[in-house]
A and B are shown apart, each in its own frame.
Chain A
Amino acid sequence: MQSIDNPTVESSSQKKEPERGAGETASGALRAWLDRRYQLTPLFDFLSHKQVPLGVHWMGWYYLGGITMFFFMVQVVTGVLLLMYYQPGEATAYESIHFLTTKVPFGWLIRSIHSWSAHLMIISLLLHMFSTMMLKAYRPPREVTWVSGYLLFLLTMGFGFSGYLLPWNKLAYFATTVGTNIVRSVPVLGNWLLEVLRGGQDVSINTLYRFFAAHVVILPLAFVAFIGLHLLLIQRQGMAPPLGEKVAPRGMRFFPSFALRDLLLWLACLMVLAALAVFLPYGPGIPGMDWELGDKADPLAPAYPGIKPEWYFLWEYQLLKEFPPHLFGLEGPQLCLFVIGILFVIWALIPWIDRRAYRDKPSPAFSDLGWAAILFLTYLTLMGWDVGAHHDAEQLTSMQEVARVCAWWTLAAGAVVILVRSWRFGHRWFILTGAALLQVILHGLIGVSYLLAGLISFVLAAIAILVLLYFRRSGADAAIST
């Protein structure tokens, strides 16, 4: 560009290097220099032809992966800055964070951005994952992309869990005690895993050292490896075209049109992040989204009411509460871990379970599964949040009262979801959403125990699906015989 704008430079460079073409720029020369050595032309050709499918879905869904990666990059930068002051240790971990936030210029800002960006990264990751699920972008040939994204989701949860302990405050101490204790329920290896995770029988400063190593070295290395794989697969295969079509009706060039839009959106995200970090430096003040330092961890101090994990672990925390001490010869937490394990395995294997999407056909049951999962998580999260509890009253609100208020909120959300899906998108398949809402009604409004309500809803949904399959098959047989 400069050489075109400035004719004197152009003419002088022509004199020195007569082999260079008249219209050739400095960047062109650099590209030619690289190309002679590394044969980059095929790569540039590939990237210049890369397109983003347009014309069927709202385009916003395609930006969520990029936004998640942007927040991860913010985490890396702010995390490295925090490392320059943070000192893991019994007498230093809490103190160094205290010093960082009170004495170091802009220390509070770096910590605030790190915390806000962590929460926003998880929000954008969840939106990205659920939108991929609803749009069936996981169907062949993109199954491995789904699994790599799923592993990135697990690693992100690991980041959240390990980072929570590092300030070594009271809340983090007990949340980590509860969180790590779940591992004990793993069959055979449970106790060994628990000790390896904690560096001892109980959560102690040894746990902090291990979590520190995981948070700043092990998890980032694993994350970068999987994000590399995830991006490579996406670059190789392109973004998924709409269901039932091999190619999207229209496309937008990735370079520069989509990439520039991505950059602009990242800039907007940075602005939002900065505004949140400055105006709410310790979080919005809702349970599970609050990073006031509070008191230093003390293993000999009793836990206190209102100990809650981060909001994205609340559903598991609440599910743990709903299991009775013993069931089917197992301890409650063991069975709870088993149930959570099954749900996570199903979620990872969805590309193979969804046989209709596998054959590139619409699969309304799996769209419904996605919405049912959201409602299931919403109800548990609201209960974990104690929505509807009177915090000012002397007497604690009963769990049934909290469940009732949460049930009404979840039912309202469910009604909106069903109406929007049926009117706007013409969906007609609501069995699983219906089962999720039935469980909410039975537990929250009628007072049936959570697990029994879940079992009744599950059995009814299974019967409904079997009946539907039977009629569909007999209908197909009739169509064949006529």
Chain B
Amino acid sequence: MEEHTTTVDKPATSRRHFIDLLLGVSVVAWLASVAYPIIRYLKPLPQTGSGGPTHLTRDEASKLEQKQFVIVPVSGQRVIVVNVQDRTCAFSAKCTHEGCTVTYLPGQSVIWCPCHDGRFDLNGRVLSGPPPRPLSQYAVNRQPDGGIVISEERA
């Protein structure tokens, strides 16, 4: 085709190229119009948690007393509340390594992720193991009636 292109043929081929280009663009646009709703459909809606501070229930509070820790949902997130002597602290219970739920080892006073042996101290800092970041901290407020409130504002 290219060998036989002459000045006379040029308008015809460029018109053909233009039509081909239009066809290509419309195919891409058509594919995009099919793909876009599917992509939006697959992306989950944002979580609609209550968002506010969470009061520990009586069950959760007694569990905290007995086991020295309890895991509770706060704004749709897992939070570990730890009771050490006179201090109560709360951290995200999601290990920063691979997202397993952490637990508390009262004997060693460390927060421990059993999946890959990550260890955190009671300030959320990494002591050992592969977690790349500290656990984020949650604010703990003791109510005058003895109730415990966990809120998302970082302490």
Chain A residues within CB distance 8 Å of chain B: 174, 177-178, 181-182, 192, 195-196, 198-203, 206, 299-307, 320-321, 323-326, 331-333, 399
With contacts A201-B47, A307-B115, A321-B117 known, is A302 near B101, CB below 8 A?
Answer: yes
8 Å CB contact of A307 from B43, B47, B100: B100
Closest chain B residue, CB of each to CB of A207? B44
Given A302-B93, A303-B101, A321-B116, verify A192-B132 contact (CB < 8 Å).
no
Give the residue name and chain of the A residue nearest to B70 (CB).
A300
Interface SS majority for chain B? loop
Contact B130 A320 (CB under 8 A): yes
CA distance A247 to B42 in the complex (A): 51
Q: CB distance B116 to A320 under 8 Å?
A: yes
Given contacts A178-B115, A303-B113, A321-B116, contact A196 B43 (CB under 8 A): yes
State the Cβ distance, A341 to closest chain B Cβ, in Å.
17
Which of B8-16, B28-36, B50-58, B71-79 contacts the other chain? B71-79
Is the CB of B114 closer than 8 A to any CB of chain A? yes
Question: Cβ of B130 and Cβ of A332 under 8 Å apart?
Answer: yes
Interface digits, B107-138 against A, CB 8 Å rule (1 contact, 0 not)? 00000011111000000001000111000000
A200 to B117, CA, bound (A): 26
Alpha-carbon distance A173/B131, docked complex (angstroms): 20
Asked if B103 is at the interface (CB within 8 A of a chain A CB), the reply is: yes
Is the CB–CB distance between B114 and A305 below 8 Å?
yes
* Interfacial chain B residues near A300, Cβ < 8 Å: 71-73, 78, 101
The count of A-to-B residue pairs whose CB atoms sit within 8 angstroms is 85
Whole-angstrom distance between the alpha carbons of A301 and B131 in the complex?
20
Beyond known contacts A306-B114, A323-B130, A399-B117: 7 more, CB 8 A cutoff:
A177-B101, A202-B94, A302-B93, A307-B114, A320-B130, A321-B116, A333-B130
Which residues of chain B have C-beta atoms less than 8 A from A196's C-beta?
A: 42-44
CB-contacts of B57-96 with A (<8 A)? 71-73, 76, 78, 80, 93-94
Q: Look across to chain B and name the residue whose beta carbon is closest to the beta carbon of A307.
A: B115
Measured between alpha carbons, how far is A177 from B97 in the docked complex, in Å? 11
- Which of B44, B73, B76 contacts A206, CB < 8 Å? B44
Chain B residues, CB < 8 A from A325: 97, 126, 130-132
Interface residues of B (CB under 8 A from A): 42-44, 47, 71-73, 76, 78, 80, 93-94, 97-103, 113-117, 126, 130-132
Complex: how many Å from CA A307 to CA B113? 11
Contact A302–B103 (Cβ < 8 Å): yes
**Quick check: B71 and A302 within 8 Å, CB to CB?**
yes
How distant is the Cα of A201 from the Cα of B92 in the complex, in angstroms? Answer: 14
A199 / chain B contacts, CB cutoff of 8 Å: 44
Contact B130 A324 (CB under 8 A): yes
Question: Is B98 a contact of A182 with CB atoms below 8 Å?
Answer: yes
A to B CB contacts below 8 Å, 6 in the list: A192-B43, A196-B42, A196-B43, A299-B101, A302-B114, A321-B116
Are B101 and A181 within 8 A (Cβ)? Answer: no
- Whether the pair A178, B101 counts as a contact (CB closer than 8 A) is no
Nearest CB in chain B: distance from A212 CB, A: 15
Do residues A303 and B130 form an inter-chain contact, with CB atoms below 8 A?
no
CB distance from A236 to the nearest CB of B (A): 31
Of the residues B42, B47, B100, B132, contact of A178 by C-beta under 8 Å? B100
Q: Which residues of B contact A333 (CB under 8 A)?
A: 97-98, 130, 132
In the assembled complex, which residues on chain B have CB atoms less than 8 Å from the CB atom of A306?
Answer: 114
